[in-house]
């Protein structure tokens, strides 16, 4: 890509926060969320709420989590966010009640359009409905809804919506069986 093409780069990113708030969040994210120190989840919830996150009760936040923009994050009750989870929420991420996001999972709300020379940034929300389980190192792409009680297995990549009560595996994620709960 030439420098001229970089100048024509287009993006749809709306940060949604002032520059001082963004800088302050970057510092708090490094100190309290990306850190291996196991700060209490109640403390992390308090910080996220200060920065505009909409949070329920009894959420567990493990160490080494990366959250891009807390003001674009909503998490319901009784959720578990594992170590090394990256919530790259350039767009809104809605996590409903009783959701488990396992270690190293990646919620990706943005991507670049490789079909255009200008390599435009395109963003889209993610919605994890109640009872969803995201396996370790799984990836969820922009504009994906994981419907109620869906399971995305280890290393799977969700590029399209996941059906209710269904287990998915692979890249792209394909249904392998019904989830019986």
Give the pLDDT score at 2: 42
What's the CATH code of the domain at 108? 2.160.10.10
What are the φ/ψ torsions at residue 72 (nearest 5 degrees)?
-115, 30
Where is pLDDT greater, at 57 or 9? 57
Give the pLDDT score at 7: 52
Query: For the chain, what is the mean pLDDT?
Result: 93
Total count of domains within the chain = 1
d(CA 90, CA 126): 10
CB proximity list for 98: less than 8 A, separation 6 or greater: 76, 77, 78, 79, 130, 131
What does the angle CA 31 – CA 68 – CA 132 come to, to the nearest 5 degrees? 110
Choice among 58-67, 77-86, 117-126, 137-146 with the minimum mean pLDDT: 117-126
> Average pLDDT in the 16-32 region?
95
Say whether pTM exceeds 0.75: yes
Which residue range forms the structural domain that includes residue 150? 3-178
- Name the 3-class secondary structure at 73: strand
């Amino acid at each position: 890509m030439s420098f001229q093409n970089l100048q024509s780069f287009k993006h749809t990113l709306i940060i949604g926060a002032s520059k001082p708030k963004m800088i302050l969040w970057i510092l708090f994210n490094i100190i309290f969320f990306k850190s291996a120190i196991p700060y209490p989840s109640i403390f992390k919830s308090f910080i996220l709420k200060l920065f505009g996150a909409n949070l329920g009760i009894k959420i567990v936040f493990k160490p080494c989590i990366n959250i891009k923009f807390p003001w674009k994050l909503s998490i319901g009750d009784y959720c578990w966010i594992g170590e090394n989870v990256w919530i790259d929420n350039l767009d809104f991420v809605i996590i409903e009640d009783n959701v488990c996001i396992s270690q190293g999972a990646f919620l990706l709300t943005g991507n670049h359009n490789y079909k255009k020379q200008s390599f435009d940034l395109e963003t889209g929300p993610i919605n994890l409905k109640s009872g969803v389980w995201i396996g370790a190192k799984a990836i969820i792409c922009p504009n994906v809804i994981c419907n109620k009680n869906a399971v995305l297995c280890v290393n799977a990549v969700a590029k399209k919506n996941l059906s209710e009560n269904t287990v998915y595996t692979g890249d792209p994620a394909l249904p392998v069986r019904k989830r019986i709960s």
